[in-house]
Each structure stands twice: as structure tokens, then as C-alpha cells.
Structure 1
């Protein structure tokens, strides 16, 4: 990618950008919340819309000169409506957390009750963790997955909701590898007269493509990230029925944000257009097939997968049984040295620190964007196992690094950049 103008002004930043491009080209990006967007999305996000303040909404801005900003935002909204079948869409949140914040601010008062999945069991910080504003403003109770199966315990969730009487029930997760029964969670929320927020940050693209069940039209509110499995501009999105539209829009602006990042909204518009093409459904199907193949490969090497496998884009590996002396942090560091980039992750029943947990989380969106298929992902599983089985062996790590470089050359990234 051309960093000529950056280099003229700031060689240090230009060097960092070029080094990052080289890093992405030469390593396997397997962090489940990351992906590689198209050159078109990169160009849109780096466009002159970064210069434009556009506080307000299309047709009702607090600044002049917004006619083209309006055009771009309207395109993003209409494309999202078509992708997800939503009545109302707000594309201004800067991130998935800000999208969740908008729902909380619109529908809750400080001290109200949130029922959500525990972080160690696959939830997210913005669902009620004490380090996050949600845990500081609201009373939070958290449900868990079944420790034996790794699946959501829907009956336990229903019992907890009856006892806790929440004002909002949160579903949708950041480290849960199975399909979600949105209707069952909606029934729980209905039974206790609570709202239901479905956070599809990780599976936005899978839902859009129809390869994962959708909460749109089921849950009261659906939020998500726009840059993970969907490969659009980095940011967040809120979807709801028209009856909540004004409350949500007011909670985003002016409630939680000032001017929207219009260059990011442009990236969302372009990415949503790409997701409406028939090829995107093939991509999403391949993401799931690749995750299944990766999980099968790791299982064959004796690794324990939380829930025994996956229905979506990620696998969650519990190292405690197969490698009790290896932490997720140790595995993450050694794998990165070998060119495989993923993250240590907490697992159900976690006994270690979140900063050095007992598991690893691996996703296939980035690999699939590069063109990897099931055979490639099985080989990647072999390489991951080889590193973790030989964590201190620099020769093995160097050999795996060579195999990673071969895979990267066979599946080039930003070839024309």
C-alpha cells in the first residue's frame, strides 16, 4: 500500500505502517475478532471524509456541507437493513462497546439490572464486567455455560432470570463456539418482563450471510461490530424495531458520542456492499468449514475443545487436560514466534489469571479471506499442535515458521499493495 505521503511527513510512522503490512502478509492472522478488509474498504476509511464533522443524522445535521456525508451514511444504513432485515439501523457507533452503551443508556437507569454471560465463560467486558462502565453503573448478575458440555445452560439462565429479575438480558458472546438459540433467550426475557440485547459482534458476517441463526426480529436490540466476520469499516452498529429508533439514535448522539467518524462510516458502506454480493455467502460458509476443520485437527492431536467443536468461526481450546503446564499466554507467545497469531483466552471454570489464562482462542475469518480451505486449516492445526507440544524447542519453532511462510506465499495478502 502506498505510504508515500506519510513518509514525506513522518518516516517513523511510515516505517511502522510498512512493517505492519509485512507482518500481516507474513503471519497467519487467527485472532477471532480480526480480519483483512479489502483495498476498497481501506481506501474508504482513509478518505477525505476524515475531515468532515457531521453531528446529527442524515438530513438533520448541526454543520453545513454534509450532503455527501449524508449520502454515504444513508447508503450504509440501507445496505445494513437489506443485509440483516432490520427495521432501523444506526451505523454511527465507534465500536461494538459503544453500540451496547447506546442500548443501555436508552433503556436503563443507573442501578438497573443486567443479566449476562460471565467473561470467563465467553462473555464480553461490555456485558457487565466490573472494570467496564456497565459493571460500575448497573447491578450485574452473570450466567454460565454448562461446565461439562461447554454449551449455554438455557434452563439455568431461566432460573437465574426468575430469581434476579433483570431489566435487560444480554446474549451474544466473544468466545462461544456454538450456535445460539435466540428464541429461547427471548422467551426468558419475556417471562421476566426484560429487554433482550443480542450482541453479534463476532458473528455479524455469519448472520448477514445466513450461515448462523439471526436474532434480528427476535431480540429487542441487536448490536455488533462491523469489522470482524463482515470485513467492513471498523466500528459498531445497532439494529432495532422502529418503536425504539428515536431512543437509540438519541443515546448514540448526543447521548454517548459527538461527531460520527464519517470515514469509518464510509468503510462500513463499502464493506456492506461487498457483503451483499453472492461471493460473501460462499466466504462465510468457508469460514465455518475452516473452523470445523481446524478444530478436528486439534482434537486429533489430543487437544480439548470447549463444547467439543464449533458451529461458527472460532475454536476455544482448553489446555488444562492435554498440556497442564502450558498456559494460554505461553502458547500465544510461542505461536507468534512461529508466525501464528492468536490469543490466550479464559475457559469455563478458569483457575488462572485472565492475563495468563488456561486456553487459547483461534479464528478462521482472516485465513479464509486469504483463500485458505479445509485442507490448509487442518495443516494449520497440525502446526499449532507441533509448537505447543515443543514449546521450548527453538528448532521446531523455526521449522514451523518456514511452513507458515510457505502457506502465506501460497495465499498472498494485498498482493498488489
Structure 2
């Protein structure tokens, strides 16, 4: 049963209610290893589903274009104050609808169409909005891309510096969507200063680790910090953009009215709740456990012969290159999903396969850590992955594994849903 209960939804639209309950049961019974997913608390769920969804609030606190903001303004003020405190920044805008619009706001705040932007190439672990060709950011601006070394799977900062000084981008992105190693924010900041560029740190994947003290922070190094509020931060599907006081006005104007209208007030409230949760000592313990679990899982996968990009992980994220296993990422991911292990196929650096049928798998430990798994469970998780990859066409094995995993996860409570007694 969903927590909070969906009694009104069941009465009004049993078809949708059944689908929501089905999704909840699916999440309950699977090993959820998608690196960008997590479980939110019942408090976050309640805020997301609150009557704040009824209210329009274009503008900013104290400067709205609609009346009736007596409670919305304090909600947004609270979320922004909690973000500033948690991440140690001078200014926080909690209105972006998601991570991509937050990144677009950085472009709008500092660039003109055609200006040069530098970011990690998508196949190397970057994000679409860091200047990749199929994104508006790669079509409306002039992209310059850096990657990783073939021998280490890590960013070569000397090469990044040489590229930045040669191309002189106005904006440099660091961070990405499939980077298993720590980003050296001080080094990127030094390169950006030397090149005369604004540095944007995209921390969407590691925001929760930073909040919990399990990963270095870009605060004090990057001019702008963008992040989603889900993933490791365990909040709703939203985003934030944080800056120095110097850039606050430009960033705020870029978010509104530059890119979007009224903020989603119910999401803002849920962000405020998640930020309060992330400031608690229990969350710091959680963040460190996420990293410990990822390290233990990486070690167990290496012991079973898997090839990991960069040889391991410093974060929640692991990137597997399946080239030496004789199976591509997509069929392996589909087989694992059928067996109760949810992750995604992913390109790996220097991949010779196409993006929709790549060589790799991307996985993370944020969600399974929320469910209470620890380092001692990681060899078993690696064993399930190994067995399925070896016999990905054996439907009987997939079914047996799914049953084993379902039984294993049944004893681990899931925030937001519980089996009906």
C-alpha cells in the first residue's frame, strides 16, 4: 500500500491508482541500481502532493505577478535558506524545473548565441547540456569538448588547461552524468580563471554526497553550481542553481523570466523538506554508506572479472565496460531488469558501439543504500550481476534470480510503500 495512502485516487481513477501501486510494488521488489534514482521519504511525497500545486507564483519572493503569496513566499524562502546553509553558498535559486533548465540558465546568464562553451564530451561521461551536438546547447553555442585518458579513464587536467587556453571558452562545465571519480574543483577553478571563463559545477549526481560530507564541494571554487534535487540528495524531481552574490541577479533573471514561468510550488516545498533531511546527522551517515557500498560493489565486480572504467569509483557511481564479457550493454541491461536488477546501458569512453546499443552498464548505490544494504551485501549483488551477464539468454535463470532478489528485498522497508498485510 502507498504511504501516504491513495484512497481518493483509488476511488476517482482506479486505473491510474493501479498503475501507481504497481510501480511502487516494482520498486519494492527490485535491486534499484540506476545511478540517478532513489527513494524519497513519505514527508517529501506528502509535500509533493500538497495543495501548493494549485498556486501560481511567477516572480520571486516579495516580487510576484500574482496575489495570494502569503504562504508560498515563506516556503520558497525556507528552501533557498536551507540550500545556502547546506551547501555553503551565497545565493540559491530553487525554481528550476529540472537539471537541464538549470544548466540552460547558466548559458542564458553569461553567454550570447554562438559563444564558446567547454564541457566533457557525452560519450566520456558528460551531459547533453554541456554542449553536446544533439542538444540546444551544442546547436546554439560553439562547443569545445574534453574527455578522459584512454589508459586511466580519468580527466587529464593538463589537456583541459591546454584546450581552455587555446579555445578561450566563456563558460566551462565540470561534472557530468557517468563519472565514477571525484571532480577536482580547485583545479578546474584555476583553469577557468586562467582562461577568463565562468566555471559551472554540475553536481546533479553527487549533491547528496556533498551535503553529507562524503564528497568534496565546489562551493568557493565554482562561480555557479547546478544540481538536480533527486538522485543522491533524495528529494523530488526538481533542481537548484547556486551562485556567488556577484552572479545572483544574472542567474535569477535567466531562470525567470528568461526560461520559465511560475515555479512548481509543491516541488519547492518538497525540496525544502529534503534539504532539512539532508542536514541531519543521519543523512551524513547515509552519504558515507553510499560511497562505502559503491567501493565494495566495485571491488566485488573486479574480483569477478568485470572491467570498470577508471578501475573503480570514488562516488556512488560505477561504469562497467562489458567488451571483455562478449555481450553488449543493452541486452545485458534488459536481462538484468528481467532478473530483478534495475540499471541502464551506457556508453563507455572510446566506445566502438552506437549510443543506443553501447558497450557499458551504469549503476549506482544510492537507492539500495536507502533500503539498508551495506558493504556485506555487495558481494551478493555482484554475484547476481555476474550470473545474469554470463547467462543473459537463460530465461529460467532470470526468473529464479528475480524471485531470489524479491525475497531478499522484501525484508528491507521501502519509504513510501509497504506490502498490504
Q: TM-score range by the shorter chain?
A: over 0.9
1:268 aligns with 2:271: yes
**Do the aligned residues in 2 keep the contact of 1:222 with 1:240 (CA within 8 Å)?**
yes
Partner residue in 2 for 1:285: 288
1:42 aligns with 2:45: yes
Q: 1:183 aligns with which of 183, 186, 202?
A: 186
1:61 aligns with 2:73: no
Partner residue in 1 for 2:12: 9
1:160 aligns with 2:181: no
**Do the aligned residues in 2 keep the contact of 1:102 with 1:248 (CA within 8 Å)?**
yes
The offset of 1:416, in angstroms, is 4.7
The offset of 1:227, in angstroms, is 0.6
**Do the aligned residues in 2 keep the contact of 1:291 with 1:310 (CA within 8 Å)?**
yes
Measured in 1, the distance between the counterparts of 2:230 and 2:379 equals 25
Listed as ranges, the matches of 1:109-258 within 5 Å are: 109-258=112-261
Measured in 1, the distance between the counterparts of 2:14 and 2:287 equals 38
User: C-alpha deviations, 1:294-348, integer Å up to 9, x for none?
Assistant: 1111111100000000000011000112x13x11101110000001100000000
Measured in 2, the distance between the counterparts of 1:159 and 1:179 equals 21
Measured in 2, the distance between the counterparts of 1:71 and 1:11 equals 36
Q: 2:79 aligns with which of 76, 79, 82?
A: 76
- TM-score normalised per structure 2: 0.97
1:343 aligns with 2:348: no
The offset of 1:401, in angstroms, is 1.1
The offset of 1:132, in angstroms, is 1.1
**Do the aligned residues in 2 keep the contact of 1:145 with 1:153 (CA within 8 Å)?**
yes
Partner residue in 1 for 2:94: 91
**Do the aligned residues in 2 keep the contact of 1:233 with 1:269 (CA within 8 Å)?**
no
- TM-score normalised per structure 1: 0.98
The offset of 1:377, in angstroms, is 2.1
Measured in 1, the distance between the counterparts of 2:101 and 2:382 equals 35
What SS class does the counterpart of residue 67 from structure 1 fall into?
Answer: coil
**Do the aligned residues in 2 keep the contact of 1:127 with 1:170 (CA within 8 Å)?**
yes
Partner residue in 2 for 1:106: 109
What SS class does the counterpart of residue 169 from structure 1 fall into?
Answer: strand
Partner residue in 2 for 1:373: 374
Identify unmatched segments of 5+ residues in structure 2: none
What SS class does the counterpart of residue 414 from structure 2 fall into?
Answer: coil
Partner residue in 1 for 2:393: 392
Identify unmatched segments of 5+ residues in structure 1: none
The offset of 1:376, in angstroms, is 1.3
User: C-alpha deviations, 1:48-71, integer Å up to 9, x for none?
Assistant: 000010111111111111111111
How many residues in Structure 1 have an aligned counterpart in Structure 2? Answer: 415
